[in-house]
Amino acid sequence: MEVESKLIRCPFIQFREGKLRCALTDENLVEDNRGCPSCVYIPKVKFLIDKDENYKNEIRQALNDDHATLVLGAGISTPMKMPMWKSLISKLAGYVQQYSDYTNRDEIIDQDIRLLYIDLEQKLVSGELEIFNEVNALESGQYIEQALRRIAQDKPIQALLKESLSIIIEQSTTPDQWKKDHPQFNPQKDQEDIAMHNSLCASAYLLCAKNGFRHALTYNFDTLVQEFLIEIFGVDANRIFTHPGEWSTYSNKGIKDPIDIFHVHGCIPRRENQICPSCPFPKESNQIIFTERSYYTTEQSGIYNWQNSIQSYYLNRDNCVFVGFSAEDYNFRRILRQIEKNHPIHYLILTIDNMVKDTWLAVCRSHLFSNTGIEQVYKETLQLLKIQLDMKRDYWNEYNFKPIWVTKNDIPEFLLSLIS
């Protein structure tokens, strides 16, 4: 009964098969019936975040001067069931294996083993399993290319890669599906309410709102932003110019208030939108920059390469707002190295959630089975978080970037506050 009372105190202490474990630290607590002394709860840390919001006025002024650009990473598409990089690699690994003909592989001769491979393929494709989580992002992308090369025979590698990416993009949420899932919203009246719903909706709204952005660099292959601009926010398709790894073939002369979306690494519109290519939904890019080889080739091709020059132009001309990025992302690091030291200040929106969880977990582990009280654990966690935030802030300031810390749930509201 003593153990059960501890379960009531802490939601992260679990009884499984007669054993007491901490869901956060994954420690076996069965030998100590006191349970976890810290009563693990992730502390509320919003008051640690810098309250100086002068940057909002700076961004609004840049918008008024037409010198502000939105830079979009993979994180904005996740609400519409697009995977982040590591999940994407795992899914592609599953599709790569499906291309293989196991009946012709000498090492797989047992029917049970063959069925096991098929089951693993399906789990990778569905997202139930993930692999290569500890591998460098670009290295894992190279794995996919080399595996495709091994099995492709006469079929072009890029064609196979785009075919697999297209399947994943097809599985993402369409605007029609989103409307069915959210019948309470009226797109004609509730645009700001819709924008508050998630990061994709908020990012799309920023590109069409009266005082919003009109230029976006995106490192995503999908055209979800374009789809939501048209179908949810009612933007005239003729205003949206998608540049699929090269300049759009459509002219914006005579178009009032155009919106330019630059797909720096290539673009794969949804299949139904490729039947009749258009200004917002062009044909899929000839080249997708995805693997270690393709990244380095682009880097070495010089400043006059389209991808390099378009990034250089906006990063050195405008105040850029980065959203949906991991600060560890290789491409982001490449940007830091390439832009000029005297570039305009850029704003990097970073989520604090994982840092809070990891820090709280570390402090909890340091006091595991001690008599430390919850208040001491809480105090140490907050102080350790403050130390980390200060050091990270100093790091980014060296590059003329201002880090802006938010919680994941606060991203839509934060984005809208930039133009209100």
- Tens of pLDDT, residue by residue over 224-273, are 999 999 999 999 999 999 999 999 999 988 899 999 999 999 999 999 99
- In the prediction, which pLDDT does 223 show? 97
- In the prediction, which pLDDT does 13 show? 66
Tens of each residue's pLDDT in the chain, 420 residues: 333 333 334 556 666 667 766 665 566 655 444 445 444 445 567 777 767 788 999 999 999 999 999 999 999 999 999 998 889 999 999 988 887 755 455 555 677 777 888 899 999 999 899 998 888 777 888 888 888 888 777 778 888 889 999 999 999 999 999 999 999 998 888 999 999 999 999 999 999 999 999 999 999 999 999 999 999 999 999 999 999 999 999 998 889 999 999 999 999 999 999 999 999 999 999 888 888 788 777 767 665 688 888 988 999 999 999 999 876 666 667 777 767 677 899 999 998 888 887 888 788 778 766 767 667 877 888 899 999 999 999 999 888 899 999 888 889 999 999 997
- In the prediction, which pLDDT does 63 show? 95
Taking only the tens place, the pLDDT of each residue in 195-215 is 999 999 999 999 999 999 999
**HEC per residue, the chain:** CHHHHHHHHCCCEEEECCEEEECCCCCECCCCCCCCCCCCCCCCCHHHCCCCCHHHHHHHHHHHCCCEEEEECHHHCHHHCCCCHHHHHHHHHHHHHHHCCHHHCCCCCCHHHHHHHHHHHHHHHHCCCCCCCCCCHHHHHHHHHHHHHHHHCCCCHHHHHHHHHHHHHHCCCCHHHHHHHCCCCCCCCCHHHHHCCCHHHHHHHHHHCCCCCCEEEECCCCCHHHHHHHHCCCCCHHHEEEECCCCCCCCCCCCCCCEEEEECCCCCCCHHHHCCCCCCCCCCCCCCCCCHHHHHHHHHCCCCCHHHHHHHHHHHHCEEEEECCCCCCHHHHHHHHHCCCCCCCEEEEEECHHHHHHHHHHHHHHCCCCCCCHHHHHHHHHHHHHHHHHHHHHHHHHCCEEEEEECHHHHHHHHHHCCC
